[in-house]
């Protein structure tokens, strides 16, 4: 299993880009399509390529892991025609925090996992890490949901973006996609 993924913005791929909102910091330019590649990508015609990798859980407790396993949906559900890719970079101050301080803000204060649970199984989610591999963002989170859950997905983002955790976000782009059928 290759744990590396590349998100290639350009003219190719199964996903049509419907919107790019450059929310915090330097943005990404609008493109027509997004190609999701499991492995390496070096498309020379890409407008941009974001790379990340899947890893072990960094904050979740056993209780949370078990609860998530019971309810979280898989990717590629036929009805999940909508997707979002949300690249985020956190501040140096965040990364200087100790593990217990980050966990405290992430869950006990900001309820990141708990909020996400409220939108399961509607919204599927997959996290890719990229801070350690010299990428411009720290995380690339991929979401998939059916069109009728668009409002629920917006609620989820609204709730996360007002948390204390988001005080540590210094760059955020919100890329919305529709699967080409």
Under the criterion CB under 8 A, does residue 11 sit at the interface with its own copies?
A: no
Stretch that binds its own copies, among 10-18, 50-58, 113-121, 155-163 (CB under 8 A): 50-58
Nearer to its own copies, 3 or 150 (CB): 3
Strand 139-145 and strand 4-10: the pairing is unpaired
Under the criterion CB under 8 A, does residue 29 sit at the interface with its own copies?
A: no
Under the criterion CB under 8 A, does residue 53 sit at the interface with its own copies?
A: yes
How far is residue 176's CA from residue 50's CA, in Å, rounded to a whole number? 15
- Tokens 């990340």 belong to 52
Residues 60-99 that bind its own copies (CB under 8 A): 60-62, 64-65, 95-99
- Tokens 């869950």 belong to 107
Enumerate residues 6+ apart whose C-beta is below 8 A from 53.
3, 4, 5, 128, 129, 130, 133
Radius of gyration for the chain, computed over Cα atoms and rounded to the nearest angstrom: 16
Selected from 21, 79, 101, 154, the binder of its own copies by CB under 8 A is 101
Neighbours of 22 (CB within 10 A): 15
The pattern of x and - marking residues 138 through 177 that bind its own copies according to CB under 8 A reads: ----------------------------------------
Nearer to its own copies, 4 or 179 (CB): 4
- Residues 105, 97: contact at Cβ < 8 Å? yes
**Closest distance of CB 174 from its own copies, Å:** 25
How far is residue 49's CA from residue 128's CA, in Å, rounded to a whole number? 14
Selected from 133, 150, 164, 180, the binder of its own copies by CB under 8 A is 133
Selected from 4, 159, 161, 179, the binder of its own copies by CB under 8 A is 4
How far is residue 181 CA from its own chain's centroid?
23
Q: Which residues of this protein are in contact with its own copies, per CB under 8 A? A: 2-4, 53, 55-62, 64-65, 95-101, 103, 129, 131-134
């Amino acid at each position: 299993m290759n744990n590396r993924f590349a998100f290639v913005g350009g003219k190719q791929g199964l996903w049509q880009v419907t919107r790019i909102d450059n929310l915090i910091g330097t943005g990404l330019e609008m493109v027509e399509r997004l190609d999701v590649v499991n492995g390496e990508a070096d498309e020379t015609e890409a407008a941009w390529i974001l790379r990340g990798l899947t890893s072990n859980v960094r904050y979740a407790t056993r209780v949370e892991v078990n609860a998530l396993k019971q309810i979280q949906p898989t990717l590629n559900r036929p009805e999940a025609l909508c997707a979002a890719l949300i690249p985020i970079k956190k501040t140096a101050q965040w990364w200087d925090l100790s593990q217990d301080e980050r966990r405290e803000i992430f869950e006990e204060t900001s309820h990141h996992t708990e909020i996400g649970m409220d939108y399961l199984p509607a919204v599927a989610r997959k996290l890719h890490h990229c801070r350690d591999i010299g990428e411009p963002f720290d995380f690339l989170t991929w979401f998939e949901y059916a069109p009728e859950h668009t409002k629920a997905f917006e609620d989820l983002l609204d709730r996360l973006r007002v948390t204390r955790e988001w005080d540590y976000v210094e760059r955020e782009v919100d890329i919305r996609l529709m699967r080409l059928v």
